[in-house]
Amino acid sequence: MNTLLNQPLCVVNAGLNSFAENLKTAGGDVVALSWQPPALGNIDAGLELAQLLRHPRVEEANKVAFERYLSAQPVLTDVLSAREAIPAMNERKLILHSGPPIAWRDMCGPVKGAIIGAVMYEGWATGHQNAEQLIEAGEIALEPCHHHHAVGPMAGIISPSMPLWVIENKTNGRLAFSNFNEGLGKVLRFGANSDDVLERLRWMAKELAPALKAAIQQLGELELKPLMAQALHMGDEVHNRNAAATGLLIKRLVPALLECPLPLDQIQRCVAFITGNDHFFLNLSMAACKAMMDAASGVPHSSMVTVMARNGVNFGIRLSGTGDRWYQAPANPVEGLFFPGYGVEDAAADLGDSAITETAGVGGFAMASSPAIVKFVGGTPADASNNSRKMQQITVGGNPAFTLPALNFAPTAAGIDARKVADRAILPIINTGIAHKQAGVGQIGAGITTAPMSCFVDALQALAQEIPL
């Protein structure tokens, strides 16, 4: 003991950083460990988590779910109206929105504005006040996109007349859907609902959708995983940066369009619209990821996350092993860069279905492939690589179809394991756009956010009730 005390001492501090700071102030040598109790310190949840870790039924179920995810082959096969693609659209006046379920009175400004715009777009109302009256009277149903195998960015609005991308998982024949990307500026997904916004939507349904449908018929089916994989090698992460993926899509679509018996001026307008929007591929990326994650859903006892989604108020997740149940908590704030003139006080809470990309192992999980993304969301290229590495600690495995050049072509971390999230206190990283809290103002920045820990704790407690421990 005397020998030990005669040597230089270093204190390892686990817990509150203030203890370490006090020792540093006193001249001590301190190593501060970032640690907190698992499962938010919930004793019951912690005990259930301890029993779920390495549980043979959970391990086997996760292998099955992960293999189904890996084997999914999402292919672009068609363009249909939402009414044609989603049976429920023919049963009642229905509008889909992003994120978990939420009542009209609780919705944020951008989602309310977008729904009002969709009601007027469908011709169900002649003005904002009339649209609100119909919604409040319960004459229009509002449900999450995910309840109908669909996804949409930001407000995520899908109404019966809107065109949808149709993605088929060739492994199991199941379909997934997404709406079209409108571009930037005053657009419905940020809650804008002026006449020019609605007129653009009508043009997309009347002219753009038929042209793209004809191009796909001319082209034949388009496999999306190889295109996404190539885009990752060209600087995209296929969530907030889609410049390469959109360019690759254009290379396929434009020659097919030129082969179609369409008026030249229509083709010119369609090509101009697509080439003027670097995010045009985003909605296809989301639908492809939705198809992959749907393949992994419904495996009893699996702790693998199959959905992460936000509605501008709450963040929700679903587990493969607990079916269609949502586990929700208030959405975390987004830390990032704001456009000039805007700040945190102007921002809506985290919003949109686009976190399905991170759920599938791209987006924020693949930031190492996209060092330029940090100019948009903040941080440094080293931060981007570190985020990709950190996600390897909370996932079931890696996806060899999606590799990261900056990490020696390591596969992207994929298959979020709710057990590892709660045990290691590492939250899934999501890079995202920031919407103004008022409808119609639009995007005011971009940044990084995370899923709330309580979602995973609640999900694990529900899973534990279904497994003999």
Give 156-186 pLDDT, tens digit per residue.
999 999 999 999 999 999 999 999 999 988 9
- The stretches of 160-313 forming alpha helices (DSSP H) are 195-203, 209-219, 225-232, 243-259, 264-275, 282-295
Residue 3 has pLDDT above 80, yes or no: no
Write down the pLDDT at residue 442. Answer: 83
User: What would the mean pLDDT of 278-296 be, rounded to a whole number?
Assistant: 98
Predicted confidence at residue 375, as pLDDT, reads 81
Least confident of 23-27, 112-116, 364-368, 395-399: 23-27
Specify the DSSP element, H or E, that contains 144. Answer: strand 141-144
Q: What is the C-alpha separation between 281 and 290, in angstroms, rounded?
A: 14
What pLDDT is attached to residue 290? 98
Report CA dihedral (401, 404, 405, 411) to the nearest 10 degrees. -60
Q: Delineate the domains of the chain, giving CATH numbers in brackets.
A: 2-35 (no CATH), 43-69+298-464 (3.90.1700.10), 74-286 (3.90.1710.10)
312 vs 22 pLDDT, higher one:
312
What pLDDT was estimated at residue 335? 86
Q: Average the pLDDT over each of 6-15, 107-116, 273-282 and give the range with the smallest value.
A: 6-15
The packing angle between helices 453-464 and 43-52, to 10°, is 60
Amino acid at the residue 409: F
Q: In 3D, which of 288, 319, 317, 283 has the Cα closest to residue 301? A: 319
Distance CA 188, CA 247 (A): 24
Report residue 157 as tokens: 């609005």
Does residue 189 carry a pLDDT above 90?
Answer: yes
Which value, to the nearest 10 degrees, does the dihedral of the CA atoms of residues 211, 217, 221, 227 take? Answer: -30
* Number of alpha helices (DSSP H) and beta strands (DSSP E) in the chain: 18, 18
pLDDT, residue 398, reads 98
* DSSP-derived 3-state class of residue 241: coil
Token pair of 71, please?
A: 């084997």
Helix axes 56-71, 282-295, angle to 10 degrees: 140
**pLDDT score of 27:** 78
**CA 107 to chain centroid:** 19
User: What is the structure's pLDDT at 24?
Assistant: 80
Section 107-114 average pLDDT: 96
pLDDT of residue 31: 83
In this prediction, residues 81-93 reach a mean pLDDT of 97
The mean-pLDDT minimum among 294-308, 332-346, 381-395 falls in 332-346
* pLDDT tens profile 209-266: 999 999 999 999 999 999 999 999 999 999 999 999 999 999 999 999 999 999 999 9
What is the CB neighbour count within 10 angstroms for residue 266? 15
Contact 444, 347 (CB under 8 A): yes
Cross-strand partners of 11: 30
Burial class (CB in 10 A: 0-12, 13-18, 19+), 92: exposed
Give 301's contacts (C-beta < 8 A, 6+ positions apart). Answer: 55, 57, 58, 60, 61, 321, 463, 466, 467
Residue 465 has pLDDT above 80, yes or no: yes
Which amino acid is located at 134 in the chain?
A: L
* Report field, pTM of the whole predicted structure over 0.85: yes
Q: 294: which 2 tokens?
A: 């749907």
Please say if the pLDDT value at position 2 is more than 70.
Answer: no
Q: How does the average pLDDT of the chain come out, rounded? A: 94
The answer to whether 90 touches 97, Cβ cutoff 8 Å, is no
C-alpha 354/C-alpha 343 separation (Å) is 22
pLDDT for 41: 81
Q: What share of the chain is helix, strand, coil (3-state, %, to 5)?
A: 45, 20, 30
Q: In whole angstroms, give the CA distance from residue 409 to residue 404.
A: 4
Tell me the mean pLDDT in the region 41-52. 89
> Rg of the chain's alpha carbons, rounded to an integer?
23
Q: Which helix (H) or strand (E) holds 379?
A: none
Percentage, residues of the chain above pLDDT 90: 80
pLDDT of residue 210: 98
Closest CA to 292 of 284, 300, 301: 284
pLDDT at 9: 72
- With H, G, I as helix, E, B as strand and everything else as coil, classify residue 433: strand
Banded pLDDT at 1 (limits 50, 70, 90) = low
pLDDT band per the 50, 70, 90 thresholds, residue 4: low
Decide if pLDDT at 10 tops 90. Answer: no
At 391-422, the pLDDT tens digits run: 999 999 999 999 999 999 999 999 999 999 99
Residue 405 CA from chain centroid, whole number: 23
